Structure 1
Amino acid sequence: MDPKASFKTTGEQIDGAFSFETADYLLEAKWTSSPSSREDIDVFASKVERKLDNTLGLFISINGFSATALTRGGTGRTKIIAMTGEDLIAVLDQRISLPELLRRKRRHGAHTGEMFLSIKDMLNQD
């Protein structure tokens, strides 16, 4: 996955980056006690949009997302995959591998336009 530590570009902080299959990912990690907001997603989406076409974003919010955070605004397509602490626990508990989790979330987004598929829903599809 060729991970990269956090770095700064002109005017912005990136929490990390990695390559997976045919895409490069920017990483945003929110380790806050409250769920991430629509504004948090929008700020990160702007960072991803300013990068090359094969760039996607992985937004990890340890305590999930607010009720409106995952709703799409505007007319553009999302380039963000959302992940929660529950997803991360499933990987750490070896219920699913990180590559498989990313593949299935990316496929779900490609098919539905939605940036989030919960691990519960994902494992219930099997």
Structure 2
Amino acid sequence: YGGYSYIMCKVKLGDNICGHVCHLECALRSYSAGTVGGTIGLDSEYFCWRCDGRTELISHANKLLQTCEAIDTDDDDGDIKEKILKLGICLLRGSEKTAAKDLMSRITSAMSMLKHGTDTEDILN
């Protein structure tokens, strides 16, 4: 477990948490992360197949934005930042939650700045 592209299930099971780890791109492809309608009904959440619990993804998407901003632009050609921001967009896209919409706006703004060659370090301010 580690890195920006994984999520750990934080659902409480007794005195512990589930702790199941999933690659976010796999979870998105299998409709167990993000905003998914139908019977699963996710809204910027991760559905854990191990415990049938849900973990919110807004705080994780916020960490993605912070990770992107912390990357030294001198050492980065933009590809890593773009990949991180796109993942954040996928996690939040279509959400009805106000916090997710606000964060989505910040992430899309950072993506626009990146595409125009502007430094993304100022997004948190």
**TM-score, normalising length: structure 2:** 0.28
Task: Find the structure with the greater CA-based Rg.
Answer: 2
- Larger strand proportion of the pair: 1
**TM-score, normalising length: structure 1:** 0.28
Q: Which has the higher contact order (CA 8 A, sep 6+)?
A: 2
